[in-house]
Each structure stands twice: as structure tokens, then as C-alpha cells.
Amino acid sequence: MQVCYQVLMAKGLEYEYPDLSVRFHAPDGAGAGGVVFGARDAKNFYAAVVDPVLRKAQLFRISDGRDTPLAQASVNLKPVDWHSLRVQRNTIISKDFIELYVDGTLVLSVEDQTLGLGQIGLVLVGKSAMFFDSFHAVPLFSHRPLSSPPAY
């Protein structure tokens, strides 16, 4: 059975190493959703998803419309209506890795460098319904100097 991903892309925002965060709420506790990154088009992207009902976080790579589960982990959600999801894609010595944080706790760390530069956005899995708020996206690092140039 093929899973349907409902994807909403942020127009004009492309990152190779994004730091993404979003707050989410699943009404009536139903739904699975999260963020998309590395998206080349509607059939090639990464999806970081949280399912509050099953209490799990998952990372998928979708290539040519087929999803490949990269990792999943159980999550302990705080007893609040709104939760947070943060995804960072980073590189260290030519190894790319993706980290997922749910409610401020690191739950997954996966090494994968299949997809590079791409768009970002939000995703729902199947017939899920979910509210999103405070979606933030920044490049994880920049070419700006760490300090001001010396005043010689």
C-alpha cells in the first residue's frame, strides 16, 4: 500500500542544510504530519513526521514517489495541546546527517546524503488533519564571519 503525502512547499526557499522548526497540534489527537526538506519536486523529498496517536517520530526519504523509511523512534509527548518539531540537516567531514527533535528532545539522528539542495515545507500523511504554527527556516550555517573585522 502506497502512502499519500500532502505537501505544501514554501515558494522560493531552498536550503542544503536547513534548521527547521514548527509547532503542531493534532485536533482530536488524530493525524500525522511534520516538515519537508530537500524537495526537488512533489515526488522527491525528505519528510520528518510525528504521529501523536502512535507516539512516534519518523523520517522518510521519498524518491520517485516511493517512500523509504530511514528511521523511527518512540516519543514521549508533553501533556499539552501544542508540540514542537525541529529538524536539522548538517554535515561533518563529508558525512551528512539529519537530527529530529520533538518537544526539545533529540529523538532521531540519521546519516543520509541522497538528496541535497531543495525546497522546504509542511507535510500531512494520508487523511490526517493537523494545525501548524510558527514555522521557522534558516540555513544551519552561513558564510558570515563569526565576529566583526578588526579595526586596524
Q: What is the C-alpha separation between 107 and 70, in angstroms, rounded?
A: 13
pLDDT digits (tens, 9 = 90+) for 30-64: 778 999 999 998 889 999 999 988 899 999 999 98
Q: What is the C-alpha separation between 105 and 101, in angstroms, rounded?
A: 5
Note whether 117 and 38 are within 8 A (CB): yes
Give the pLDDT band of residue 114 (cuts 50, 70, 90): confident
Q: What is the C-alpha separation between 60 and 69, in angstroms, rounded?
A: 4
- Residue 27 in 3-state DSSP? helix
pLDDT digits (tens, 9 = 90+) for 60-94: 999 988 888 999 999 988 888 899 999 998 887 77
Q: What is the C-alpha separation between 115 and 98, in angstroms, rounded?
A: 11
Tell me what pLDDT residue 22 has: 96
User: Quick one: DSSP state of residue 142?
Assistant: -
Sorted by where each starts, the structural domains of the chain and their CATH numbers stand as: 5-139 (2.60.120.560)
Note whether 18 and 120 are within 8 A (CB): yes
Q: Which residues pair with 60 in a beta bridge?
A: 47, 69
| pTM metric for this prediction | 0.84
